[in-house]
Every structure is written in C-alpha cells, then in structure tokens.
A = this chain, B = another copy of it.
Amino acid sequence: MEKALRHALMAQARAEAQLGWQEGGIPIGAVIATESGEVIARGHNLRVQNGDPTSHGETQCIRHAGRRRDWGELTLVTTLSPCPMCAGTAVLLGFKRVLIGERRSFQGAESWLLEADIEVDCLDDPGCVQLMQRMLSEKPDLWLEDIGG
C-alpha cells in the first residue's frame, strides 16, 4: 500500500475522530480498508455518547464491519496507538496491518501487534496529534477513564 494511500485513509479516520469530538465524545476514529484502498467500515469512540466502555474507535469500526473471514487481507487505520483492548482485538482477528495516526499522546500495546506478525506503521499525523492534545487539555479526566485510569 503506497504512502499517499495510507495518508488518504488516515484522513478518513481523522474525519471520524472529528465527528466524535463534535458529538462531545473522545476524538479517536478508525476505518478498515482493503489493500486497494476501499473503505469497508468506519467508526469512532462512542463511550460518552453510548455509555459503553468497550466503544473505542477501533472496536466500533470492527462492529460495523460485521462477520467476515478476510481480516488477514485488511488494514485497520486508527488515529491513535491502540489500547490493550483494541490491540488485542486486532490480534484476535489477525489484521494484515495496523496503520496508526500518532503515538505521541498515548503509547498503546503495539508490541502485541508486532509479536503477532501484524505490520505496524505510524504516520505521525499532525492533525491526529492536534485533536488528542486539545482533548487532553480540555477534558483530561475523560481521557483517564478511557484508558482505565
């Protein structure tokens, strides 16, 4: 998957994150894409909106993808380094690749992905960093709850 396509997919995940922030929630979004760049599912964190602690951006996106058997050909694109729940879910399903927006705001369980031979690529996207930094500044307590703090 070429670099330009990776950035284009991240822009779609970032749009999901922005939608979540506009709804009063945590600004983390995700999309799932095929190797040619077709987006088959989208999602964003809904913990505040739905009161569900398992509704992270990645898990919501995977819920929308539904039951399928081709996870090993798909890329999970997420605006933030995935937490233990989301990394564990990626390992369970066996994604081909996890494309990460940024890991400056939070360092997730990326080692679990690597140990499961999932390709990991971090784009260090300034837009993703900006969204998270705004939340950490304006709603720090909300974030602590999201990561089990």
Residues of A within 8 A of B (CB): 47, 51-54, 59, 62-63, 65-69, 71, 83-89, 91-94, 109, 112, 116, 145, 147-148
In the complex, 17 of the A-B residue pairs with CB atoms within 8 angstroms, ordered by the A residue number, are: A52-B67, A53-B63, A53-B65, A53-B67, A53-B68, A53-B93, A54-B54, A54-B59, A54-B89, A71-B148, A84-B92, A84-B112, A85-B89, A85-B92, A87-B88, A88-B112, A94-B148
Query: Is there an interface contact between A89 and B88, defined as CB atoms closer than 8 Å?
Result: yes
Residue in B52, B66, B71, B89 whose beta carbon sits within 8 Å of that of A84 in the complex: B89
- Minimum Cβ distance to chain B for residue A57 (Å): 12
Contacts of A59 in B (CB 8 A): 54
- Residues from chain B with a CB closer than 8 A to the CB of A87 are 88
What is the count of identical protomers in the complex? 2
Minimum CB distance partner of A147 in chain B: B92
Q: What's the least CB distance linking A48 to chain B, in Å?
A: 8
- List chain B residues, Cβ under 8 A from A71: 148
Can you name the residue of chain B whose Cβ is closest to the Cβ of A72? B148
Indicate if the CB atoms of A54 and B47 lie closer than 8 Å: no
In the bound complex, how far is the Cα of B93 from the Cα of A147, in angstroms? 7
Contact A66 to B53, CB < 8 A, known contacts A84-B112, A112-B84, A148-B71: yes
Q: A83-B92, A84-B88, A92-B85 known; A67 and B148 CB under 8 Å? A: no
